[in-house]
Amino acid sequence: MAPLPRATPSNLAPYYEQKPSWRDCGVPGFQCATMKAPLDYAKPAEGDVRLAVARKKATGPGKRLGSLLVNPGGPGGSAVGYLQNFAGVGYPEKIRARYDMVAVDPRGVARSEPVECLDGREMDTYTQTDTTPDDERETGELVRAYKKFAEGCGADAPKLLRHVSTVETARDMDLLRAVLGDEKLKYVGASYGTLLGATYAGLFPDRVGRLVLDGAMDPSLPARQLNLEQTAGFETAFESFAKDCVRQTGCPLGGKGTPAGQVGKNLKTFFAELDARPIPTEDADGRELTESLATTGVIAAMYDEAAWRQLREALTSATKKKDGAGLLALSDSYYEREADGRYSNLMSANAAVNCLDLPAAFSSPDEVRAALPDFEKASPVFGEGLAWASLNCAYWPVHPSGEPHRIVADGASPIVVVGTVRDPATPYRWAEALAAQLSSGHLLTYDGDGHTAYNRGSACVDSAINAYLLRGTPPTDGKRCS
């Protein structure tokens, strides 16, 4: 990735010079504003996209260090929601004292002209679609579901859908830096937010301040390899859960001493039973627990080891009492489905960004079938379903604008890349790869479970990152925490 020219093009000057009009958000302590960005940076005269921004001003004491932009990942996660619900109140007090905490919902996400592919009822049907098809009929149903989803996105936002790439959102971040009056960007990005931060560094290395990339992605991977390695990540996380489960009294997937591989086989047997006969959930909309929803529920609990107890209880209810409510609740949390049947636009924006950033992992069901052995080797539990889930971009209405690439960011200030050893969604190898690509990358390793590491219970990780954010001193490259 080549950096952009240092001088701001004259046709972008009005965007860089805009002044935000801050107002009360309706959430105590937070202010909100709207920022304009060009829909197409190559042709700014062709229209704008309006981006929602929020901030919580530094509380003091101590000298203000500028703005600290945060992004929770996704792609498709609401950064404004993350700021108001967690970062703005849950980040360490000494960080919030010295920084204005800031977030912008990326283009196409949440409050920033959200892409909406399906309505609530349609999303219910979509999330229940069988992603482990047994025959041509079920394969056809899955393909039709992907096509309907893609067509809905295309109908909803035909212009915006071509301009929700990671590169464009990273450029929006630079606009926000200027609008806030900061000389350099200071940023904490988690998960996909690390790709945004690394992309920013590649485009604007001279404007990098203090960047923390937690739960790192590897931009050099093509979609198929990325999906395959993530599949292996979920298997690693499940094995960790399985070992913990059989140490507990009443593990629904095996008794004390049951090998993790057998725990996985027991779960697969349960999934197969659901495939043949879904179980009730007492859901107000009449949804039953299908194999696809149960699988999503289990995957959702892999993101945070604090959810393992909830997963054990949900699996116990489902396997022993034929009550799928617990697993359905976990699945709904993953999809950001509200009790009234409405969904956030997380899944719509997720596909919109991913399908634009990289060429599709697969172009046909036959290609998926050919790759199934690799995916099932990577994860005997989740491989088949995640392979078929990787077919979604094959039917996307917009051609991809990105491709795999390395990010070096020559000349950037030190960048902290954080990797968790048993991270399900962003495998540890990705953090190693990104830290090695970045000319100023410093790898911080957390030997633990769950997705990301900062503010998740490791005093070692937190102190290293806090010292960097407050004093600009990065941890020693290769530092390990537990």
Domains of the chain with CATH codes: 10-114+161-220+405-481 (3.40.50.1820), 120-156+222-395 (no CATH)
423 included as an active-site residue: yes
Phi, psi values for residue 68, rounded to 5° = -120, 105
The one catalytic residue in 423, 440, 458, 462 is 423
The one catalytic residue in 67, 78, 112, 191 is 191
With CA atoms as reference, report the closest residue to 429 among 212, 168, 236: 236
Structure tokens at 33: 């504003």
Mean pLDDT of 306-335: 98
Distance separating alpha carbons of residues 393 and 395, to the nearest angstrom: 5
Q: For the chain, what is the mean pLDDT?
A: 97
CB neighbours of 203 closer than 8 A, spacing ≥ 6? 1, 3, 4, 167, 170, 171, 174
Distance separating alpha carbons of residues 181 and 144, to the nearest angstrom: 48
pTM over 0.95: yes
Looking at residue 178, its amino acid is A
The one catalytic residue in 124, 442, 451, 462 is 451
What's residue 411's pLDDT?
A: 97
CB neighbours of 183 closer than 8 A, spacing ≥ 6? 207, 209
CB neighbours of 298 closer than 8 A, spacing ≥ 6? 238, 267, 311, 315, 327, 330
Cα distance between the two ends of the chain: 34
Q: What number of other Cβ atoms are within 10 A of residue 18's Cβ?
A: 16
pLDDT at 139 > cutoff 90 = yes
What's residue 300's pLDDT?
A: 98
Mean pLDDT of 400-427: 98
| Percentage of residues of the chain with pLDDT beyond 70 | 100
Helices (H) and strands (E) in the chain, counts: 18, 10
Distance separating alpha carbons of residues 387 and 364, to the nearest angstrom: 12
With CA atoms as reference, report the closest residue to 325 among 276, 362, 257, 278: 278
Mean pLDDT of 193-214: 98
With CA atoms as reference, report the closest residue to 95 among 436, 423, 481, 471: 471
pLDDT at 1 > cutoff 90 = no
191 included as an active-site residue: yes
Confirm if 179 and 20 have CB atoms less than 8 A apart.
yes
Phi, psi values for residue 359, rounded to 5° = -60, 150
Give residue-wise pLDDT tens across range 75-101. 999 999 999 999 999 999 999 999 999
80-84: long-range pairs with CB below 8 Å, 24+: 80/32, 80/52, 80/53, 80/54, 80/104, 80/105, 80/110, 80/111, 81/110, 83/30, 83/54, 83/55, 83/56, 84/25, 84/27, 84/30, 84/54
Which residue would you say has higher pLDDT here, 349 or 257?
349
Distance separating alpha carbons of residues 62 and 44, to the nearest angstrom: 40
Mean pLDDT of 392-409: 98
With CA atoms as reference, report the closest residue to 166 among 48, 71, 80, 52: 71
